[in-house]
Structure 1
Amino acid sequence: MTSLNELNAVRKAISPYLHRTPLWHSRYLSGLLGRETWIKAELFQRTGSYKPRGMLWAMMQLAPEARARGTITFSAGNAAQGLAYAGQMLDVSSTVVMSASANPTKVAATKGYGAKVIQHGTPQEAAQFCLDYAAREGLTYISSYDDDDLMSGHASLGQEIFEDLPDVADIVLGIGGGGMAGGIAKAAIATGHKARLWGVEPEGASAMTQSLEAGHAVRLPVVSTIADGLAAPSAGELCYALVKERFEGVAVVSDANIVEAMKILMSRLKIMPEPAACAGLAAVLNGHAGAANAGPLVLVVSGGNVDLGSLKSWL
């Protein structure tokens, strides 16, 4: 298991390229949920999501020859921007495979950070195409979630929460493949913090829930949700192990629940989160993810890369 000293070294290495995002107390959410509530505003991170934390460290760990070949990942969009940004900062070329239906805003932003973007098929088809393309072209594959170095970078998010709110009782966050969840679990284990960790998935992309039920990481035959940031085609094997070890549970919410949470965050907190970032609030509002517990609550608002055309149809 990664030690606290090792995680501190990771933070030191990646921090010059990142914002330390705010942890804001919300009087409105505290009243609504009946307990003191904070949001970790990771939508204000570089590229608009938490993803550069892990991608920077994963890229830094590559051998010189692996960097020279160039990097590639599969992503719905936020990890795509994270890889592209890391490559731009570290002078490493990057290629990203995204589904044909990927968020146009995320596609454009990824290109803006200098990556080559290939769109192909469904998320499942794009994920396999990415692996095949990497092998064919000799590119260095970095998983968008199931990578130990990547999760060590994401652990910095958890460390910031524990430092800014030492008495946090519950942390609730969305889970796609499980990279952020694994990172926060790493931080909790290394620091010895006793906060309860809760994951949340959309009904149409519940890979981690099904993995916990099956006793191993599973791949979904199809995913369908407005929360593209949580629409990974599978749960990561390394991610699954960390979630199983450290999380209290994983809740499942509907897209309608997510939209209602989005409306609250937009209208009352005056921020513009993407659907994936609203899953935590959606779960607590509907009585899940430790909703009945006492003590300070943190909701991780993980990203804000919203496609405005889609937003109009959701609201």
Structure 2
Amino acid sequence: MQDAAPTPEQILEARNAVDGAVIRTPVLSLKQAALVERVGNAASLTMKLELFQHAGSFKARGNLLGIRRLTPEERTAGVIAASGGNHALAVSWAAARQNVRATLVMPKATDPLRVDGCKSAGAEVILVDDIAAAFDEMNRLAEARGLTVMHPFEGTHMTLGAATLGAEIIEDLPHLDCMIVAVGGGGLIGGVAAAIRQVKPDCTVIGVEPVGADSLSRSFEKGEAVRIGKVDTIADSLGSPAALPFSFSVAKQYVTEIVRIEDRLMVDAMILMRDALKLVAEPACAAALAAATGPLRDQLTGKNVCVLACGSNIGAQRYNMLLDGR
């Protein structure tokens, strides 16, 4: 694994590799009256609609790159991942597209929509008690069956996949002053930030983490990748218990700052996206907008801002439960 952040040349190569295979997702100017009042005095506010990507999230990009890089022997054996979130669906999609067998180890509490989506793509799904057990079983099966592990964020292919997204954003929004991105493990924001700030260094890139899953915030404070122990947030797609060295190093180089938000702000933003934009968003998808309309509101005055709707895979039962429980 390389130690340095992806270069513009590597990002261009990655874009060429996924061209025609992933969707160049649209950007939406948020001029609706229901949003104008909430975003304060930002000069403009735009949303990158990556929830319209294949498999419902940005993770399709990096997983497609990762599976394309497999050796013939690795392709024959297949891949495996542990995930209860969008990563599982993206691995299933990317593997099916390239005729590679995928095994997903998922917690029993995973949203049924995600489990069914993986199975529909042809993946083998194994349900275990929780996410810790999922990683243990993933490692056991990888060793026993000779499978290649597809990590949800730590790896050059995942960072480069995210960088292809960042490159689209800065092409579509050349006057961008501030990009706001939800943070899980750090692969997404690192790749997006590297792509944007190597083209426009004065553009700030701000990460958004749940208070109960703030491994990258703590890592920034300590100056090294750390593990936090307990994860406690409704945003399961952002619930990484640890930052890891490569993705942390890229994020540290290019991310301007990280803010923490309470879960209730994500629920408020989910409602705002439903009512003003007619979009069904999971908590992680709403996190960037939650920060823009919450703790970052005054900081964005006079700036051209983009928030990333990073992906959304949520069933009606869980969606209604979250909104009814606010």
Please give the range of the TM-score, normalised by the shorter of the 2 chains: over 0.9
Say whether the 8 Å CA contact 2:14–2:65 is kept in structure 1: yes
Query: Which residue does 1:191 correspond to in 2?
Result: 199
8 Å contact from structure 2 (residues 190, 255) kept in 1: no
Secondary structure of 1:212's partner?
helix
Aligned residue in 2 for 1:26: 30
| 68-77 vs 166-175, greater mean Cα deviation | 68-77
Give the Cα–Cα distance (whole angstroms) in 1 for the partners of residues 264 and 76 of structure 2.
Answer: 45
Residue 213 of structure 2 contacts residue 233 of structure 2 at CA under 8 Å; is this kept in 1?
Answer: yes
C-alpha separation in 1, matches of 2:199 and 2:190: 14
Partner deviation per Cα, 1:110-139 (whole Å, 9 max, x = no partner): 111111112223223322332232112210
1:4 aligned to 8, 13, 23, which one? 8
Once the two structures are superposed, residues 20-42 of structure 1 have per-residue CA deviations (whole angstroms, 9 ceiling, x without a partner) of 10011011334431211000001
**Paired AA for residue 6 in structure 1:** Q
Cα deviations across residues 188-226 of structure 1 (Å, max 9, x unaligned)? Answer: 354354321111111221111122222221223221211
CA spacing shift, 1:2–1:14, aligned 2, 3 Å: same
* Counterparts of residues 62-81 of structure 1 (less than 5 Å): 62-81=70-89
Structure 1 runs of 4+ with >4 Å offset: none
Structure 2 CA distance, aligned partners of 1:44 and 1:89? 18
- Deviation by residue 1:46-101 (Cα, 9 ceiling, x = unmatched): 11111110000011111111111101112222111111111111111111122222
Task: Select which of 218, 223, 245 maps to 1:237.
Answer: 245
User: What is the DSSP-based 3-state SS (H/G/I as helix, E as strand, rest coil) of the residue aligned with 2:256?
Assistant: strand
User: What SS class does the counterpart of residue 205 from structure 1 fall into?
Assistant: coil
Deviation at 1:250, TM superposition (A): 1.1
Q: What is the CA–CA distance in structure 2 between the aligned matches of 1:24 and 1:116, rounded to whole Å?
A: 36
Structure 1 position 278 matched with structure 2 position 282 = no
Amino acid corresponding to residue 2 of structure 1 in structure 2 = P
What are the ranges of 5 or more consecutive residues in structure 1 without an aligned counterpart?
Answer: none
125-134 or 97-106, larger mean C-alpha shift: 125-134
Q: Aligned residue pairs: how many?
A: 315
Please give the alpha-carbon distance, in whole angstroms, between the structure 1 residues aligned to 2:79 and 2:124: 10
Measure the CA separation in 2 of the matches of 1:24 and 1:165.
11
Specify the SS of the correspondent of 2:19: helix
CA shift for structure 1 position 290: 7.5
Contact 1:25/1:38, CA 8 A, preserved across alignment: yes
Assess if the C-alpha contact under 8 Å between 1:169 and 1:294 holds in 2.
Answer: no
Give the unaligned 5+ runs of structure 2: none
Residue-by-residue CA offset, 1:140-193 (whole Å, 9 max, x unaligned): 112110011221122111001000000111111111111211211231354354
For residues 66-145 of structure 1, what are the structure 2 equivalents within 5 Å?
66-145=74-153
Identity of aligned residues (%): 31
Structure 2 distance, partners of 1:234, 1:125, is 16
Equivalent-residue separation in structure 2 for 1:124 and 1:182 (angstroms): 25
Does structure 1 conserve the Cα–Cα contact (< 8 Å) formed by 2:197 and 2:203? no
TM-score (norm 1): 0.95
| Structural RMSD (CA) | 1.7
Name the CA shift for 1:195/1:225 in 2 (closer, same or farther; >3 Å).
same
